[in-house]
C-alpha cells in the first residue's frame, strides 16, 4: 500500500522542514522527485539525501512567487515526462495583527503562500489533464480553520489555500485531477528553532515548551508525520478523496 512506483512528484520548498520530509518519504515509496526550491543549496542537499538512500530526484531552481521562474521550472520538469503529483508546500510565515502588519509584509506573504500555489497549480493542471489526471496537495494550516493570535497575514494566506483547494477540486474533477490540503498545527521544523532563537534569546527552551503545549497532545508534530498523511492523500489508496482539508493538529480542534 501507498507505493508511488513510476510516479513523478513535484514538491515545492523541499529544501527543509515539511517539504523535505515529503520529498524523502515519497522517494522512499518509489516516486521520482523534482525538488523546486529557491534556495539552490538546500534543494541540492535534499536531492543528495534522496539519491544517497537509493531514490531518484532532481533539483530545479524556482521562485514560486515569480511567474517566469515557475513557467521555466515546470517546462524543465515536464520535459522528462508526465507530472503525477504536485505538492504546493513552499510558504513563509509572519507574526502580527491586522494593525501591526505592514503592506510590504502582507504582499510578501501573499506572493509566496497564495500566488505561489496559484502559479504552480496553473502550470501543472493543463499537463495533468492532458495526461489523464493527477493529484495536487496543498499545505494549508489549522489557521485555515480557526483564529490564531498574532497571525493575521499568515492566516489570511492559508485560508486562501483552503478555498483554492476546493475550487481546483470541483473545477477539474472531470479531468481526473484530485486536490486536497493538509492543515497542520505547529510542526517542529528549522523555522521554529530559528524563530525561537531570534525572538527569545536565552528563553528558547521555555518558549519551545509553551508552543508545544498549545497542542493538547503535548508536543509539536514532526515533519515526517505530516509527510505520512501527505503520502496517503497522494497515493492511489486515496483515489476517492478530493476537495478535503485534513487537520493534523494534536487535538487543537477537538479541545
Question: Phi and psi for 204 in degrees, rounded to 5?
Answer: -55, -45
Domain contains 255: no
Q: Find out whether 109 and 154 touch, Cβ atoms under 8 Å.
A: yes
Q: What is the pLDDT of residue 255?
A: 86
Q: What is the pLDDT of residue 20?
A: 98
Same domain, 106 and 199: no
How many domains in the chain?
2
Same domain, 158 and 196: no
Same domain, 88 and 102: yes
Q: What is the pLDDT of residue 52?
A: 98
Q: Find out whether 169 and 136 touch, Cβ atoms under 8 Å.
A: no
Domain contains 120: yes
Q: What is the pLDDT of residue 236?
A: 98
Domain, as residue range, for 29:
8-184+222-243
Same domain, 69 and 101: yes
Q: What is the pLDDT of residue 18?
A: 98
Q: Render each residue's pLDDT in the chain as its tens digit; 255 residues.
A: 999 999 999 999 999 999 999 999 999 999 999 999 999 999 999 999 999 999 999 999 999 999 999 999 999 999 989 999 999 999 999 999 999 999 999 999 999 999 999 999 999 999 999 999 999 999 999 999 999 999 999 999 999 999 999 999 999 999 999 999 999 999 999 989 998 999 999 999 999 999 999 999 999 999 999 999 999 999 999 999 999 999 999 999 998
Same domain, 48 and 136: yes
Query: Which of 79, 61, 161 lies closest to 121 in space, CA to CA?
Result: 161
Q: What pTM was computed for the model?
A: 0.97
How far from chain centre, in Å, is Cα 42? 16
Q: What amino acid positions are annotated as catalytic residues?
A: 154
Amino acid at each position: 500500500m501507498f507505493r508511488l512506483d513510476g510516479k513523478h512528484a513535484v514538491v515545492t520548498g523541499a529544501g527543509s522542514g515539511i517539504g523535505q520530509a515529503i520529498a524523502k518519504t515519497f522517494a522512499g515509496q518509489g516516486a521520482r522527485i523534482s525538488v523546486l526550491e529557491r534556495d539552490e543549496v538546500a534543494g541540492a542537499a535534499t536531492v543528495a539525501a534522496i539519491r544517497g538512500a537509493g531514490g531518484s530526484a532532481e533539483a530545479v531552481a524556482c521562485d514560486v512567487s515569480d511567474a517566469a521562474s515557475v513557467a521555466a521550472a515546470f517546462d524543465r520538469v515536464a520535459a522528462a515526462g508526465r507530472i503525477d503529483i504536485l505538492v504546493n508546500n513552499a510558504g513563509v510565515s509572519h507574526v502580527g495583527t491586522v494593525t501591526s502588519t505592514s503592506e510590504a509584509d502582507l504582499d510578501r506573504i501573499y506572493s509566496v503562500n497564495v500566488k505561489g500555489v496559484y502559479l504552480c497549480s496553473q502550470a501543472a493542471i493543463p499537463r495533468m489533464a492532458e495526461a489523464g489526471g493527477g493529484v495536487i496537495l496543498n499545505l494549508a494550516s489549522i489557521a485555515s480553520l480557526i483564529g490564531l493570535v498574532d497571525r493575521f497575514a499568515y492566516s489570511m494566506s492559508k485560508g486562501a489555500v483552503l478555498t483554492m483547494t476546493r475550487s481546483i477540486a470541483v473545477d477539474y474533477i472531470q479531468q481526473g485531477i484530485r486536490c486536497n490540503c493538509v492543515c497542520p498545527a505547529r510542526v517542529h521544523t528549522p523555522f521554529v528553532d530559528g524563530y525561537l532563537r531570534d525572538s527569545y534569546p536565552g528563553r528558547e527552551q521555555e518558549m519551545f515548551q509553551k508552543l508545544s503545549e498549545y497542542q493538547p497532545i503535548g508536543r509539536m508534530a514532526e515533519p515526517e508525520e505530516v509527510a505520512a498523511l501527505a503520502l496517503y492523500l497522494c497515493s492511489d489508496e486515496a483515489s476517492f478523496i478530493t476537495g478535503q482539508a485534513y487537520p493534523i493538529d494534536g487535538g487543537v480542534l477537538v479541545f
